[in-house]
Amino acid sequence: MLLRNSRHHFGLISITLHWAMALVIYAMFALGLWMVGLGYYDSWYHDAPEIHKSIGVILMLVLIIRLVWRVVSPPPSPLSSYSMLVRSSAVIAHWLLYSLLLVILISGYLISTADGKPISVFGWFELPALLSGAGEQADLAGDIHLWLAWGVVIISVLHGLAALKHHYIDRDVTLKRMLGMRIPLPSEKEN
């Protein structure tokens, strides 16, 4: 398997970024829901948010890398069997997911730095607080963070269902391309 995307296949880097981010995003969503229910005297009350913040900063860096990689190594061409509606829906869904993730990560940063303190990323480095507005900043950013996180989960579930529809109903290679499976090129099918 090639590292870069080709006209017909996703490369290893795109596939790895896609699935790693999907796993981390769902884990972060679960961690976020779990940690807001913790009481002050729970043993994870302070540690869970620090882990969530650290992973969030790393996820922001990975999202930036993924967007740069998308420019450096564009995704494969859409299948010729896709209708204009399917092509448009896929583009809109992908950019909506990227945009929502970006806003979620920025809102998480605003929540975490509302008190003017930097975010320590696993003790490796600190991300400074550039804006701080204490309660109001944290409350508004928190609402945005929560609702957009639900939005990402819903849209990504629809994205996954669309991939399964392509695989099981349309019987095309959409899902196989993102799983890194070997698929015959159009020129190979003719032979």
Given a cut of 90, whether residue 1 has pLDDT beyond it is no
More confident residue, 35 or 134: 35
Given a cut of 60, whether residue 23 has pLDDT beyond it is yes
Torsion angle in degrees (nearest 10) through CA of 140, 143, 149, 150: -150
What is the Cα–Cα distance from 166 to 179, expressed in whole angstroms? Answer: 13
Nearest to 108 by CA among 135, 141, 78: 141
Please name the fold of domain 12-184.
Fumarate Reductase Cytochrome B subunit (1.20.950)
Q: What share of the chain is helix, strand, coil (3-state, %, to 5)?
A: 65, 5, 30
Given a cut of 90, whether residue 120 has pLDDT beyond it is yes
Given a cut of 50, whether residue 191 has pLDDT beyond it is no
> What percent of the chain has pLDDT above 90?
75
Kindly state the tokens that stand for 8: 């017909």
Residue ranges of domains in the chain: 12-184
Q: What is the pLDDT of residues 130-161, one digit of tens each?
A: 876 666 778 889 999 999 999 999 999 999 99
Q: What is the mean pLDDT of residues 101-117?
A: 93
Q: What is the pLDDT of residues 43-97, one digit of tens each?
A: 999 999 999 999 999 999 999 999 999 999 999 999 889 999 999 999 999 999 9
Residue 90 CB neighbours (<10 A)? 17
- Report field, pTM of the whole predicted structure over 0.85: yes
